[in-house]
Structure 1
Amino acid sequence: MKKEHIKAIEQLPLQPWSKAWEMRNLFLFSYYCRGINFKDMAFLTWENIREGRLIYIRRKTGDLLNMELLPPALAILADYRTIAIGEHIFPILSDFHKTPQQIENQLKKVLKQMNDEMTELGKQIGLDFRITSYFARHTYATVMKRNKVSISMISEAMGHSNEKVTQAYLDSFENDELDKAHKGLL
């Protein structure tokens, strides 16, 4: 995906608090928060928001991430603040989900809903492929690379354990660009 696709999805007129609207919000929040992965997002609480910053421990690596919240992410948070019921920011997990199995089942269920809804929204803007939560993360990395941000900076921003992980993200999504350039030989 490209930045233009993110913007097009962002501009789709959706009914507030519909399933599509909520899933788009999760996707966009991930994109605007350095590609925060779905599981980390599910566990965010209001205590992770401090003075316009998102501060959390990445579940996969144990790294502390601390970032300024961009205006689109702040707008999403403002919406969810109006319905804040439990400790979590997003209504993915609740007090009902206590055991590791219940939590895992709920994460899989909502992630599938998000991926399905995002694929449908992608079709509305003319995309013909399945969009998953990883696209927000990959698109963040790709947009940063295209903006000439160093791989080491992108790696740190995303909480990767090393630059090879970041490079793998970027390589897999830049192949289309390289294929187009290569066809220029003909």
Structure 2
Amino acid sequence: MSFVDMAYLRKENIRQGVISYYRKKTGQKIEVTVTPPLQRIIDSFSGESGNSPYLFPVIRDTDKSPRLQYENGLRLQNKRLKRLSALAGIGGKLSTHVSRHSWATTGKKQNLPLWVISEGLGHSSEKMTYTYLASFDRSTLDRANEQIALALAAPPSV
């Protein structure tokens, strides 16, 4: 889930164990079953979201611009992730968007069908998902190419 969609998620978006919302970017309807780990995450923020209509404590003040609160929340979260990345000695940039990349890449490595990854990301087309994934980890394709090259270079078996 993108950070913007998470920030704007309302408590009313959860019905009978399913989160249902429309993506801010594409307007596509997304439905996600609330798994026990996800429920624990939601519960962990219940004290901070209090009487707010929002599920998570990003947009807190109904008298202030929700958009500004979202943007400030995004900056703060990315700053925290940058600090966490440095403390953990992780090379490269860590951001809220990286989680979407990681989810998609993991799905690809698990040989999930492209349409499943596309739907999970809320993309408007599989073509967009293919383009999105094409720029990531090519190690599986590299290994396949190595295996094929070795097979072609090996002497024929008798």
TM-score (norm 2): 0.80
Q: Is the 8 A contact 1:119 1:129 kept in 2?
A: no
- What percentage of residue pairs aligned between the two structures are identical? 30
Opposite residue 85 of structure 1, the aligned amino acid is: N
4+ long deviations beyond 3 Å: 178-182
Q: Which of 40, 47, 51 pairs up with 1:75? A: 40
Structure 2: which 5+ residue stretches go unaligned?
Answer: 150-158
Distance 1:180 1:116 in 2: 34
Structure 1: which 5+ residue stretches go unaligned?
Answer: 1-35
User: 1:13-43 CA deviation, whole Å, 9 max, x = no partner?
Assistant: xxxxxxxxxxxxxxxxxxxxxxx11111111
Offset of 1:138 from its aligned partner? Answer: 0.8
By relative contact order (CA 8 Å, sep 6+), the higher-ranking structure is 1
Distance 2:112 2:141 in 1: 22
1:63 matched residue in structure 2:
28
Are 1:96 and 2:63 counterparts? yes
Aligned length: 144
Are 1:131 and 2:91 counterparts? no
Report the 3-state secondary structure (helix = DSSP H, G, I; strand = E; otherwise coil) of the residue aligned with 2:32. strand
Structure with bigger gyration radius: 2
CA RMSD for the aligned pairs?
2.2
Q: Is the 8 A contact 2:23 2:29 kept in 1?
A: yes
Q: Is the 8 A contact 2:109 2:140 kept in 1?
A: no
Distance 2:132 2:77 in 1: 21
Offset of 1:181 from its aligned partner? Answer: 4.9
